[in-house]
């Protein structure tokens, strides 16, 4: 059974710990330095918490495509992707949501629709993949040369934050993530000008660079 079913989808935005995790998505997306009109892929997009941030960056002529294997999570994302009202600041770019496995090249090619992406984001998603390197290989088939890549994921808190390690492990376990997957280490060596950040006592890791 997929743990990202209807109940999780309904409660995710409230219970998934945004006060802890939002910092990663904001930092990663800002560091991508997206431009108006660009095409961005969000893998494991979940309930679409990244969508307003991405739409703001790519503007009315931009495109955001979210891929997730959970129909229920995509339904929640669809509500965030509804045509923006004038005051919401999201800019009115188009959003397309595709259900499927982010490790499946065919799914990613269908998501790309024949046009490579200028950037990809994976926030708190790669650590759920049994084989993050397979996801990365599939992603490279749909990225334009020089595409921006942002991976945001979790690790055990360290130093003075180590006291929170059991909580962090519980949060990851509840979400089906492997806290020790360190999925960014698969991607980082493939990037040019890679930069990395550590937040929340090392629990939130952000790697951003350019795919060469």
Ligand X SMILES: C[S@@+](CC[C@H](N)C(=O)[O-])C[C@H]1O[C@@H](n2cnc3c(N)ncnc32)[C@H](O)[C@@H]1O
Binding test (CB under 6 A) with ligand X, winner from 68, 164, 171, 179: 68
Closer residue to ligand X, CB minimum distance, 6 or 36? 6
In the complex, least distance from residue 73 CB atom to ligand X, rounded to whole angstroms: 4
**69 touching ligand X, by CB under 6 A:** yes
Write each residue from 90 to 109 as x if it is in contact with ligand X (CB under 6 A), else as -, in one continuous string: -----------xxx------
Question: Closest distance between ligand X and the C-beta of residue 197, in Å?
Answer: 16
Task: Please tell me whether residue 66 binds ligand X under the rule CB under 6 A.
Answer: no
DSSP result, 115-128: S-EEEEEEES-GGG
Give the dihedral sign, CA 3/157/101/98: positive
Q: How far is the CB of 109 from ligand X (least distance, A)?
A: 14
Q: Does 76 bind ligand X (CB under 6 A)?
A: no
Does 184 sit near ligand X (CB under 6 A)? no
DSSP element (H, E) containing 153: strand 143-154
Asked if 128 touches ligand X (CB under 6 A), the answer is yes
Q: Residues 6 or more apart from 125 whose CB is under 8 A from it?
A: 43, 44, 45, 46, 102, 153
Shortest Å, Cβ 128 to ligand X: 4
Q: The tokens 């790697």 sit on which residue?
A: 207
Q: Give the distance from CA 54 to its chain's centroid.
A: 11
Structure tokens at 45: 């997009």
CB nearer ligand X, residue 82 or residue 174: 174
Cβ atoms 111, 30 nearer than 8 A: no
């Amino acid at each position: 059974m997929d743990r990202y079913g209807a109940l999780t989808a309904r409660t995710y935005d409230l219970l998934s710990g945004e006060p802890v995790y939002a910092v990663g998505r904001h930092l990663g997306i800002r560091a991508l330095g997206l431009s108006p009109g660009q095409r961005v892929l969000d893998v494991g997009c979940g309930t679409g918490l990244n969508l307003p941030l991405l739409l703001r960056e790519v503007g009315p002529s931009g495109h955001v495509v979210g891929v997730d294997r959970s129909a229920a999570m995509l339904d929640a994302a669809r509500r965030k992707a509804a045509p923006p009202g004038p005051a919401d600041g999201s800019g009115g770019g188009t959003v397309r949501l595709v259900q499927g496995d982010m490790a499946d090249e065919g799914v990613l090619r269908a998501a790309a629709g024949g046009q490579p992406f200028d950037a990809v984001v994976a926030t708190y998603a790669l650590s759920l993949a049994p084989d993050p390197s397979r996801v990365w290989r599939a992603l490279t088939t749909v990225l334009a040369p020089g595409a921006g890549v942002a991976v945001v994921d979790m690790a055990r808190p360290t130093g003075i934050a180590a006291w929170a390690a059991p909580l962090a492990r519980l949060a990851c376990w509840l979400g089906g993530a492997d806290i020790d997957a360190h999925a960014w280490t698969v991607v980082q060596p493939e990037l040019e000008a890679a930069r990395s950040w550590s937040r929340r006592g090392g629990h939130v890791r952000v790697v951003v660079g350019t795919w060469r």
